[in-house]
């Protein structure tokens, strides 16, 4: 496929690995923010091409993984209402809340449907005016414009039986929270390319300045990832801390203005809870007052967020780059993709699931 195959060129990947090895003189710890990048790195073995001493930590950028269990509990409760059709992206269905997952709710008879786009949920609402249709709006800045457009269309057309359970998260405040933590080890970041497609990368310039870390806007294919790593390590070796954008075929400094205008209209920035990490100020989107009547939490009476309950799962430490999945005692034993304890084992972009799929020690046949 065009714009995919040429960015998987094995010979070019090898040349990048050699170039990185030539220029690396010291150990460095880098973090990729986005779960899609984690998946691609582990799948293509990019981390194994890096020189010894260069460590890649996997960041909190899997929206499915950081959606708080309390939001899933609200989703399960709302889906249990017999008058409701509950629509969600597929990867959210298996994530456990405190009282099971949406898939378990469906097994109990709830009408839970998987959709590819929030517009599909709105379409279901138009076709089924006698039922309440609720969309579980999760995702980063990449996905929020799709939600915003759906809300605006629903408002314009007066679709009264449609509402949304909104749990959108924002990347820059999470990066700042990671860098401000006393136990932070991250020296350079690969910024999430598709988030930057929408938001641009000017927001990262003050972060790079303030914390003295290079931030490189990076795509998802092997060549994109290797180029991002190359530029990030090169900056570290040169003692620079700048924002660079090798993902320029898709990202411009100012981002997608049309999408940003709509985000500003539909959402307000608010404190958001991240699963395993806790509350981060100004790190999420809620519906603006003009659109508050589309808030499913309000419509169904689940407005409050309960305190986080303790669990055996260490995904909070995995998401902050403090531990690798294989360092969790439950990994691969009490916790597997079939019986996940935490969301990082459920989503294919979660670090635990990526390691389970591609990095489990396999028995060598005799």
Residues 318-357 that bind ligand SF4 (CB under 6 A): 318, 325, 328, 330-331, 335, 340-342, 344-345, 352
CA nearest to 305, candidates 60, 65, 62, 75: 75
Q: Which stretch binds another protein (CB under 8 A): 33-41, 105-113, 159-167, 352-360?
A: 33-41
271 belongs to the binding site for another protein (CB under 8 A):
no
Residue 355 contact, options ligand SF4, another protein, none, Cβ 5-8 Å cut-off depending on partner type = none
Instruction: Look at residue 3 and give its three-state secondary structure.
Output: coil
Identity of the residue, 142 or 161, whose beta carbon is nearer to another protein in the bound complex: 142
- Asked if 63 and 139 count as a contact pair (C-beta separation under 8 A), the reply is yes
- Asked if 152 and 261 count as a contact pair (C-beta separation under 8 A), the reply is no
Identity of the residue, 75 or 351, whose beta carbon is nearer to ligand SF4 in the bound complex: 351
Beta 111-114 vs 162-169: how paired, if at all?
unpaired
Among 314, 320, 321, 354, binds ligand SF4 (CB under 6 A): 314
DSSP state of 181: S
CA nearest to 296, candidates 161, 199, 192: 161
Identity of the residue, 57 or 195, whose beta carbon is nearer to another protein in the bound complex: 195
Among 315, 320, 321, 347, binds ligand SF4 (CB under 6 A): 315
Instruction: Look at residue 191 and give its three-state secondary structure.
Output: strand
Q: 267 φ, ψ to 5°?
A: -115, 160
One symbol per residue from 260 to 299: x for binding ligand SF4 (CB under 6 A), - otherwise; what is it? ----------------------------------------
Residue 31 contact, options ligand SF4, another protein, none, Cβ 5-8 Å cut-off depending on partner type = none
272 belongs to the binding site for another protein (CB under 8 A):
no
How far apart CA 272 and CA 284 sit, in angstroms, is: 5
Residue 315 contact, options another protein, ligand SF4, none, Cβ 5-8 Å cut-off depending on partner type = ligand SF4
Residue 114 contact, options another protein, ligand SF4, none, Cβ 5-8 Å cut-off depending on partner type = none
Q: Which stretch binds another protein (CB under 8 A): 41-49, 146-154, 268-276, 279-287?
A: 146-154
Q: Which stretch binds another protein (CB under 8 A): 71-79, 183-191, 249-257, 276-284?
A: 249-257
Residue 275 contact, options ligand SF4, another protein, none, Cβ 5-8 Å cut-off depending on partner type = none
Q: Calculate the alpha carbon distances from 108 to 75, 77, 111, 353 in Å.
A: 14, 12, 9, 26
Instruction: Look at residue 179 and give its three-state secondary structure.
Output: helix
Task: Tally the C-alpha atoms within 13 A of residue 274's C-alpha that lie toward its C-beta.
Answer: 31
| CA triple 130-135-138, angle to 5 deg | 175
CA nearest to 354, candidates 23, 56, 54, 126: 56
Identity of the residue, 118 or 297, whose beta carbon is nearer to another protein in the bound complex: 118
Residue with tokens 């929030």: 118
DSSP 307-345: PPPP-S--HHHHHTTSS-GGGSTTBTTTB-SSS-SSGGG
Footprint on this chain of another protein (rule: CB under 8 A):
1-4, 6-7, 9, 12, 15-16, 19, 34-36, 61-64, 89, 91, 116-120, 138-140, 142-143, 145-146, 149, 152-153, 156, 192, 194-195, 197-198, 223-224, 227, 230, 246-251, 256, 258-259, 347, 349
Footprint on this chain of ligand SF4 (rule: CB under 6 A):
313-315, 318, 325, 328, 330-331, 335, 340-342, 344-345, 352
């Amino acid at each position: 496929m065009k714009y995919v195959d040429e960015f998987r060129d094995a010979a070019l990947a090898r040349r990048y690995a050699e170039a990185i090895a030539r220029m690396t003189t010291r150990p460095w710890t880098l973090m990729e923010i986005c779960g899609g990048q984690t998946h691609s790195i582990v799948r293509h073995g990019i981390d194994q091409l890096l020189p010894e001493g260069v460590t890649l930590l996997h960041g909190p950028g899997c929206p499915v993984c950081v959606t708080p269990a309390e939001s899933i509990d609200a989703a399960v409760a709302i889906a249990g209402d017999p008058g409701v059709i509950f629509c969600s992206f597929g990867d959210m269905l298996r994530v456990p809340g405190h009282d099971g997952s949406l898939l378990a709710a469906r097994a109990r008879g709830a009408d839970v449907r998987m959709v590819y786009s929030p517009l599909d949920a709105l379409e279901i609402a138009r076709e089924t005016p006698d039922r309440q249709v609720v969309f579980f709006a999760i995702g980063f800045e990449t996905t929020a414009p799709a939600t915003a457009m759906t809300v605006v269309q629903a408002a314009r057309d007066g679709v009264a039986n449609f509402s949304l359970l909104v749990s959108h998260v924002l990347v820059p405040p999470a990066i700042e929270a990671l860098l401000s933590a006393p136990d932070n080890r991250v020296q350079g970041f690969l910024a999430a390319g598709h988030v930057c497609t929408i938001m641009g990368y000017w927001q990262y310039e003050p972060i790079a300045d303030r914390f003295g870390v290079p931030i490189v806007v990076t795509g998802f294919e092997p060549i994109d990832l290797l180029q991002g790593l190359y530029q990030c390590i090169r900056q570290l070796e040169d003692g620079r801390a700048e924002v660079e954008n090798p993902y320029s075929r898709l990202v411009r400094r100012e981002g997608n203005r049309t999408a940003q205008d709509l985000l500003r209209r539909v959402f307000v920035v608010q404190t958001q809870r991240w699963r395993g990490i806790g509350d981060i100020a100004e790190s999420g989107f809620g519906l603006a007052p003009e659109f508050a009547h589309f808030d499913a939490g309000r419509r169904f009476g689940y407005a409050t967020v309960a305190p986080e309950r303790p669990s055996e799962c260490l995904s909070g430490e995995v998401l902050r780059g403090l531990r690798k999945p294989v360092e969790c005692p439950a990994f691969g034993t009490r916790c597997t993709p079939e019986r996940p304890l935490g969301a990082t084992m459920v989503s294919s972009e979660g670090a635990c699931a990526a390691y389970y799929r591609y990095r489990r020690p396999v028995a060598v046949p005799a």
